[in-house]
Amino acid sequence: RRPMPRKRVDPDAKSAGPSRRERRQAKEQSKKNDLLGELLPLEQQLASGCTEEQLAALAALAEHAADPVGRRVLAAEVPGLLAQLFILCEQQEPQEMQNAALQTLAALTAFDKNEEGEQDAHAILDGGAAEVLGRLLVGSNRRPCEHALGICVNFASTSLGLRDALVTRGIAKRVLDAIPIHDAGQPGPITRKFAELLRVVCSWPVADNAAFRDVVQPLVNSLAILSTSNDDEVLLASLQALANVKYGDDERLLPLVKHATLERLVFLFEQPSPEICVLAARAARQIACGTVTSMQAFLVNQPVPAVCDMMAREEEPSVQREGCLLIAEVSALGGPHVKEVVAAGGVPILKGLLKNEDAGVREAAIRALAALTWRSAPPLVGSLVEAEVVPVVVGMLCAAETSEIVLPALVLLQSLARAGGVLRAQSKLPSNIFAEALIQVGGLDKLKTIVEMSGDKATCQRAIAVMEACCM
């Protein structure tokens, strides 16, 4: 059988047709035109004054709002329809109508987390949603207020720019001023939505400008109250938000002192829920590292024993990691705080965690031991850390470990080598026991490799300092 000849395609004819992108754009435009044909009559139905017609129009509108293309058309091309929707969102009678309108607006504001979704969100916010939400938040009716908070969450979670728009347009400040949170212990739906909104607002970096400076203080005050809640949903949201706020100003500490927030966080360290414990530790670390005053306020609550207990929770590596990082910050102050860690049994726990299977736990443990030994007197270092630790730490200098662990490992080795030199002089030992241990496991060769191969100046300088300390 002879094969059938292939049909030749004229290259000029092929290039003359629409490209795949052009066909896709034409298809999308056709869909938009069809949507416009369906949406424009809905504007008349919403303005008809007939409850039955209005509810039917809202139901149809909600279906279109669930589709990304429908949201885009609604946001940018039918302003009259949006205006009618906003009117119904504030119309208190009948209540069924207002609820349906607010639910439709909530569906419409479930934006995609991309550039087009951000454009749609700005168009709706600028098209009148900001003013409507502001009035609903201060109204006496709790149900519309709850809906408004949920819609604000949709806007704030879309992008950093939308979160900033809520702040600069005064909506965030209005929320903080208007929402009562006296029921934080046994919260209702509004308090839960309020806590979720604050969590989302704080999930983006907080800018240092006038609009945010007016918001941060009442925001921290609200979070301090919400963190006393016994409701897990409210508590987790408030802890996550507290862990994301920057506390570089002592004034931000005042609401936390007023509501005993640091004492509450230390209490939460001992909770069985790993999620609560981890977020409480992150919030405490963020607050304590803000200023010297905030660290002192944290240490007044005697957190070290509870933090050491966190490091000993073997089945929960996330809890152990946060405990180690807190010990690192506390130990960095030196003085009596190092003795507190020693008295609470923190050193044996940290040495054991150097061999933990979880890389994050190992890294946090090495940071804690490095801070602890660096701020301790050399004789104390020698009595706390045996030479057997050296092979474990040297093993962390290999390429298999993360780069973040190398520098604290070098700090610890330098502390050990320096302590070994002091012990040798004081006790008249024949040699530096830590330097000998380092040489036996090939540590000097690894240090030389780091100096030759690493492109990080701080790492190279620290490796050289370790080798110099070994000669003491």
Residue by residue, DSSP assigns 92-145 as -SSHHHHHHHHHHHHHHT---SSHHHHHHHHHHIIIIIHHHHHHHHTSS-HHHH
Model pLDDT, residue 400? 47
Convert 196-207 to b/e letters by CB count within 10 Å (16 or more is b). Answer: bbbbbbbebebe
Of the candidates 437, 408, 406, 407, the residue with the CA atom closest to the CA atom of residue 420: 437
User: What gap in Å lies between CA 441 and CA 132, rounded to an integer?
Assistant: 70
Q: Left, alpha or beta for 133 (phi > 0: left; psi -120 to 50: alpha)?
A: alpha
Tokens of 64: 């279109």
- Per-residue pLDDT at 431: 85
Q: pLDDT tens for the chain, 472 residues: list them.
A: 555 556 565 555 555 567 777 777 677 677 777 778 888 888 889 888 899 999 999 999 998 888 888 888 888 888 888 999 999 999 888 899 999 999 999 999 998 888 888 998 999 999 899 999 999 988 778 889 999 999 999 999 999 999 999 988 889 888 888 876 655 556 788 899 999 999 999 998 876 667 777 888 899 999 999 999 989 999 999 999 999 998 888 888 899 999 999 999 999 999 999 999 999 999 999 999 988 899 999 999 999 999 999 999 988 999 999 999 999 998 887 778 888 898 899 989 999 999 899 989 998 999 999 888 887 777 777 776 677 788 888 888 875 445 678 888 898 888 888 888 888 888 888 888 888 888 888 888 888 888 888 778 888 888 899 898 887 6
- Cα–chain-centroid distance for residue 70? 32
pLDDT at 73: 84
pLDDT attached to residue 13:
52
Confirm if 153 and 192 have CB atoms less than 8 A apart. no
pLDDT attached to residue 472: 67
Q: Report CA-CA distances (Å) from 406 to 10, 291, 401, 402, 456.
A: 63, 27, 8, 7, 11
3-state helix, strand, coil in the chain (%, to 5): 75, 0, 25
CA 193 to chain centre: 18
| C-alpha 116 chain-centroid distance | 24
Task: In whole angstroms, give the CA distance from residue 324 to residue 326.
Answer: 5
Q: What six digits make up the tokens of 134?
A: 């502001």
> Residue 388 gets which letter from DSSP?
T
Tokens of 430: 């024949």
DSSP state for residue 184 in the 8-state scheme: S
Domains of the chain: 42-179+189-203 (1.25.10.10), 377-471 (no CATH)
Tokens read off for 420? 């070994």
- Produce one character per residue of 449-470: b if its CB has 16 or more CB atoms within 10 Å, e if not: ebeeebeeeebbebbbbbbebb
Length of the chain as a residue count: 472
- What is the rounded distance in angstroms from the CA atom of residue 152 to the CA atom of residue 199? 12
Q: What 8-state DSSP symbol labels residue 301?
A: T
Give the tokens for residue 274: 């790993």
Burial of 189 (0-12, 13-18, 19+ CB in 10 A): middle
Six-digit token string for 309: 């207990």
- Nearest Cα neighbor of 239 from 258, 220, 215 is 220
Q: Is 339 helix (H, G, I), strand (E, B) or coil?
A: helix
Distance CA 390, CA 354 (A): 11
> If 0-12 CB within 10 Å is exposed, 13-18 middle and 19+ buried, where does residue 375 land?
middle
Q: How many angstroms separate the CA atoms of 246 and 239, rounded?
A: 13
Whole-prediction pTM: 0.84
Question: Where do we find the tokens 């409850």?
Answer: 51
Is residue 417 within 8 Å of residue 454, measured between CB atoms? Answer: no
Q: Identify the DSSP state of 78.
A: -
